[in-house]
Amino acid sequence: MTQAEIKLCSLLLQEHFGEIVEKIGVHLIRTGCQPLRVIAHDTETSLDQVKKALCVLIQHNLVIYQVHKRGVVEYEAQCSRMLRMLRYPRYIYTAKTLYNDTGELIVEELLLNGKMTMSAVVKKVADRLTETMEDGKTMDYTEVSNTFVRLADTHFVQRCPIVSATETAEPTPPPPAPTLVINEKDMYLVPKLSLIGKGKRRRSSDEDAAGEPKAKRAKHIESKEPIPDDGIYWQANLDRFHQHFRDQAIVSAVANRMDQTSSEIVRTMLRMSEITTPSCAPFTHPLSSNEIFRSLPVGYNVSKQVLDQYLTLLADDPLEFVGKSGDSGGGMYVINLHKALASLATATLESVVQERFGSRCARIFRLVLQKKHLEQKQVEDFAMIPAKEAKDMLYKMLSENFISLQEIPKTPDHAPSRTFYLYTVTVLSAARMLLHRCYKSIANLIERRQFETKENKRLLDKSQRIEAIIASMQATGAEETQLQEIEEMITAPERQQLETLKRNVNKLDASEIQVDETIFLLESYIESTMKRL
């Protein structure tokens, strides 16, 4: 775990959960597995606060626990899972594009709460959707339930592990920590619930006509109605989202390289194998030409003959995104996921080199990448760049770790006059270096955004207060002149300052999302490569 990653985890924990949780989380990242009392002693935090912080972290899958052989429960931070918090907006937006507003709110609730029962999610989402609707309209629980079932069928949400039945049944003293188990067959099995009802709007006052406080009413309702799916908790399946992002990146790359029809064929192949192929597999399952033809989108006018020509063209492409694995069923085709990720990571590296050092450096980088090993004289000749310039560019990229130098001595004494010096690109190490820089960039962006909002905190608070006053006056039917008077409480320079702040924060947010897309590609490539080694 590098310092850049630890700093980024610290910023994310503080932003999402506050200072105490951040202190406990960062301590666990730095020290590894620790028991409860040691954490409390080392962080100088009360035992009660440490327990609450660990509860929050475990609820959100950011910390796991295990029983040591001496019977002590130890807690360990999940650094990679903490970094996934960067991608929360992207997960939510993906759910919105695939399953509309209902899917968006389901995934948002699961990410915000870590783990929830299906009935709780359905009721909360129905209430939230009802509040956004026009007066008189409500959202039915059944509609939300149907969307939840579709998310489970496509594996975007999954069940959480539960305490094993043997532990709950045995009369012996309970173990120091429960063992959580999940049957793979039940992971996406939705319980049959008869959720009948509609979303409710929030009341403007906390007490109804009878004068009974809201909290008491809620308690009465909860005590009367038993929860139908008590103990069956659900969480967002982030690996499935990552698989979707990877597939989208591959489809986009094929569209840029060839054409829209090719990308639609690749999209169909990926869609056919998205549930059957594990997210870590190097290839998809083989698919016959006939199966692909039958699964093409309705209204897509591509004949079988044209499809076969496209598949042959894709299989013959030097990038090897699509490979042919047999001749039965009109030809069996697979998508080489590892090769696709390697090509995307290489393209990212080339793009970074071009932006940082210019087009001539990018030409040298691509040349070394293509030829594997080259001497300095060969680089000058092949790239058709003057010796002095080529030398400067090579040394610049060498100092930034985009290119590495390999020594091949003719004699055991490694004398420079009798040694070959070959330039080469190690894509894996270059990708790791770039990933480290991306983590640094994201941390800097978050810090800058926090600084901008802190500097303008007084102005933001004033703006929010005025917006709240206007909203309440509109609800009571105030006149236009009264509303205008309230709006004029913010002066023209203040309004301009707010606009500048909003524009800057939007730019920083967009930059965070763009850097995270690069992080995702590099992480996927590194993970895929490490599994093959």
For residue 1, pLDDT beyond 90: no
> In angstroms, rounded to a whole number, what is the distance separating the alpha carbons of residues 308 and 330?
8
**pLDDT higher at 90 or 482:** 90
**pLDDT higher at 41 or 214:** 41
**For residues 143-156, average pLDDT:** 89
Q: How many CA atoms lie within 13 A of 228 on its CB side?
A: 13
> In angstroms, rounded to a whole number, what is the distance separating the alpha carbons of residues 396 and 430?
14
For residue 93, pLDDT beyond 90: yes
**For residues 1-7, average pLDDT:** 86
For residue 122, pLDDT beyond 60: yes
Kindly state the tokens that stand for 489. 């409480």
C-alpha radius of gyration, the chain, whole number: 29
Lowest mean per-residue pLDDT among 36-45, 107-116, 488-497 = 488-497
> In angstroms, rounded to a whole number, what is the distance separating the alpha carbons of residues 446 and 11?
8
For residue 321, pLDDT beyond 50: yes
340-425 CATH fold:
Arc Repressor Mutant, subunit A (1.10.10)
Q: Is 217 helix (H, G, I), strand (E, B) or coil?
A: helix
Question: Do 342 and 320 touch, CB atoms closer than 8 A?
Answer: no
**pLDDT higher at 471 or 235:** 235
User: What tens digit of pLDDT does each residue of 431-473 get?
Assistant: 999 999 999 999 999 999 989 888 888 888 888 888 888 777 7
Kindly state the tokens that stand for 70. 């001496």
Looking at the domain covering 239-335, what would its CATH class be? mainly alpha
Specify the CATH number for 3-77; select among 1.10.10.10, 1.20.1180.10, 3.40.50.620, 3.20.10.10: 1.10.10.10
Q: Which residues share a beta bridge with 159? A: 234
Phi, psi values for residue 137, rounded to 5°: -100, 145
User: What tens digit of pLDDT does each residue of 391-442 get?
Assistant: 888 898 888 888 888 888 888 877 877 788 888 888 899 999 999 999 999 9
Q: Could you give the percent of the chain with pLDDT greater than 90? A: 20
Q: Which residues share a beta bridge with 194? A: none
User: What tens digit of pLDDT does each residue of 180-189 get?
Assistant: 777 777 788 8
Q: Identify the band that residue 206 occupies on the pLDDT scale cut at 50, 70 and 90.
A: very low
Question: By C-alpha distance, which of 405, 447, 452, 400 is closest to 426?
Answer: 405
> In angstroms, rounded to a whole number, what is the distance separating the alpha carbons of residues 495 and 488?
10
For residue 380, pLDDT beyond 50: yes
Phi, psi values for residue 416, rounded to 5°: -55, -35
Query: How does DSSP assign 389-443, residue by residue?
Result: HHHHHHHHHHHTTSSEEEEEESSTT--GGGEEEEEE--HHHHHHHHHHHHHHHHH
Q: Is 300 helix (H, G, I), strand (E, B) or coil?
A: coil
From residue 383, how far is each of 287, 377, 380, 399 by CA, in Å? 42, 10, 5, 20
> In angstroms, rounded to a whole number, what is the distance separating the alpha carbons of residues 460 and 483?
19
Quick one: DSSP state of residue 181?
E
For residue 204, pLDDT beyond 60: no
Query: How does DSSP assign 506-531, residue by residue?
Result: HHHHHHHHHHHHHHHHHHHHHHHHHH
Kindly state the tokens that stand for 60. 């959100």
- The amino acid that residue 424 corresponds to is T
**pLDDT higher at 495 or 224:** 495
> In angstroms, rounded to a whole number, what is the distance separating the alpha carbons of residues 135 and 116?
29
**Domain edges within the chain:** 3-77, 239-335, 340-425, 430-528
**For residues 20-44, average pLDDT:** 89
> In angstroms, rounded to a whole number, what is the distance separating the alpha carbons of residues 246 and 256?
15
User: What tens digit of pLDDT does each residue of 67-83 get?
Assistant: 877 778 888 988 889 99
- Per-residue pLDDT at 217: 46
User: What tens digit of pLDDT does each residue of 343-376 get?
Assistant: 999 999 999 999 988 888 888 898 888 888 888 8
- Per-residue pLDDT at 432: 92
- Per-residue pLDDT at 465: 85
Question: By C-alpha distance, which of 469, 106, 337, 90 is closest to 461?
Answer: 469
**pLDDT higher at 232 or 108:** 108
- Per-residue pLDDT at 289: 83
- Per-residue pLDDT at 387: 86
Q: Identify the band that residue 223 occupies on the pLDDT scale cut at 50, 70 and 90.
A: very low
Instruction: Note the pTM of the prediction, 2 decimals.
Output: 0.85
Asked if domains 239-335 and 340-425 share a fold, the reply is yes
Question: Do 262 and 307 touch, CB atoms closer than 8 A?
Answer: no
Segment holding 67, helix H or strand E: strand 63-67
**For residues 103-122, average pLDDT:** 90
Q: Name, in order, each residue with C-beta under 8 angstroms of 179's C-beta and a sequence gap of 6 or more.
A: 163, 164, 167
Q: Mean pLDDT score of the chain, rounded to an integer?
A: 83
Question: Do 147 and 99 touch, CB atoms closer than 8 A?
Answer: yes
DSSP E strands: which ranges in 258-413? Answer: 287-288, 322-326, 332-335, 404-409
User: What tens digit of pLDDT does each residue of 253-298 get?
Assistant: 888 888 888 888 888 888 888 777 777 778 888 888 888 888 888 7
> In angstroms, rounded to a whole number, what is the distance separating the alpha carbons of residues 199 and 130?
5
Could you tell me whether strands 233-236 and 332-335 are parallel, antiparallel, or unpaired per DSSP bridges? unpaired
For residue 205, pLDDT beyond 60: no
